Amino acid sequence: MASMIFTDCSSSTMSRLIHLDRRNGAFLPHPCVGQLSLRTTASGRGCTLSIRSSSSPSAIVINGKAEAKKIRDDIKIEVSRMKESIGVVPGLAVILVGKNEESATYVRNKKKACESVGIKSFEVGLAEDSSEEEVLKYVSGFNDDPSVHGILVQLPLPSHMDEQKILSAVSIEKDVDGFHPLNIGRLAMRGREPLFVPCTPKGCIELLHRYNIEIKGKKAVVIGRSNIVGMPAALLLQREDATVSIIHSRTKNPEEITRQADILISAVGKPNMVRGSWIKPGAVIIDVGIKRVEGRFVGDICYAEACKVASAITPVPGGVGPMTIAMLLVNTLTSAKRIHYFQSSSDLKG
């Protein structure tokens, strides 16, 4: 079984920020960046980042915050284009049950993000002891409401509720979280397309794409197998032709598996569990895990150690987190476009 290791090895001092702009091909490395090799892609749209087994002391920081901002800027333009052309404003409804502080913060952030791009948000807050029927009533109301294009039931739900029953009640056309069993089932099947992909794993893959990190043919390892992150992340990597292994709490000697990974995604929630010695030199690391330790957020990856071994890494915070919310906005916009047969502009695909 993988063991939990707490160590104060997380630090931002190893961060070396670069900015890689895919659209104009500009590459603006921070002066401290180590060895990188760039070549222009066949499409000419950008450049491919070739990651070498590095003897350089630090990894590229995959800047999720900056990428998420670019995505939000694009969404804002699309939302106003849609409003001007057909008079429709995309709408996202969020149902929050109970007083879980973390959930309330997530919901607040989602609302703020919606406002910042012009998406209308609807929020329902229900008491912890609400009945399942009450939640289902709101889900059904939003399913029928034409001004709502995305419905999100904030998880976790109180233990007396059947999560599966409630998630299944969300109309598959408005399932912007991608948690409906039909969407997950389609994600798992070859030749089928889900209407929506869960936001956090989608954000992980989007970051790999935006940094032109090749997935096809690579050995990818995902730590964690939850329905909302680990499992869909593994499915997405497989759809992109990676060879995927999954590590969970019963996996023996996980470090032997992670050491083979060209791409490592960790979604556990155990601070600093993955040490530098678990990482293959030159690997790309996506750290989904986030936990507050002594007043600051810490990921699953022992950041300072990983920076010396990996070729690229997401920081915590500022890596996957902002991308999750950006993907929720993308999914909501995609849904509104699909429902109203509004064509995508070429730059922003769902």
**DSSP at 158:** P
Stretch that binds ligand NAP, among 78-86, 111-119, 211-219, 286-294 (CB under 6 A): 286-294
User: Which of 108-116, 128-136, 183-191, 289-297 is the region at the interface with ligand NAP (rule: CB under 6 A)?
Assistant: 289-297
Query: How far apart are the C-alpha atoms of 182 and 242, rounded to whole Å?
Result: 23
247, 257, 313, 327: residue in contact with ligand NAP (rule CB under 6 A): 247
Q: Rounded to an integer, what distance in angstroms lies between the CA atom of residue 315 and that of residue 65?
A: 10
> Does residue 5 touch ligand NAP according to CB under 6 A?
no
Q: Would you say 273 and 251 are in contact if contact means Cβ atoms under 8 Å apart?
A: no
Q: Can you tell me which of 178, 198, 224, 318 binds ligand NAP, judged by CB under 6 A?
A: 224
Among 84, 144, 190, 250, binds ligand NAP (CB under 6 A): 250
Q: Which of residues 291-350 bind ligand NAP (CB under 6 A)?
A: 291, 320-321, 324
Give the range of 47-55, 86-94, 111-119, 221-229 binding ligand NAP by CB under 6 A. Answer: 221-229
Pick from 96, 114, 213, 267: which binds ligand NAP (CB under 6 A)? 267
- Report in angstroms the alpha-carbon separations of 14 from 107, 166, 243, 288: 32, 44, 30, 19
What's the sign of the alpha-carbon dihedral 22, 23, 25, 27? negative
CA atoms of 300 and 154, how far apart (whole Å): 23
Decide: is 261 part of the binding site for ligand NAP (CB under 6 A).
no
* Tokens 């009450």 belong to residue: 134
Binding pattern for the stretch 177-206 against ligand NAP, x by CB under 6 A and - elsewhere: -----------------------x------
Show which residues are catalytic: 110, 154, 177
Helices (H), ranges, 59-154: 64-86, 101-117, 132-144
CA distances from 207 to 55, 154, 189, 241 (A): 24, 24, 23, 17
> Long-range contacts for 36-40 (Cβ within 8 Å, ≥24 apart)?
36/60
With CB under 6 A as the contact rule, the residue among 124, 290, 339, 348 that binds ligand NAP is: 290
54 versus 183: smaller Cβ distance to ligand NAP: 183
Can you give the binding site for ligand NAP, defined by CB under 6 A?
2, 4, 200, 223-226, 228-230, 247-251, 254, 267-270, 288-291, 320-321, 324
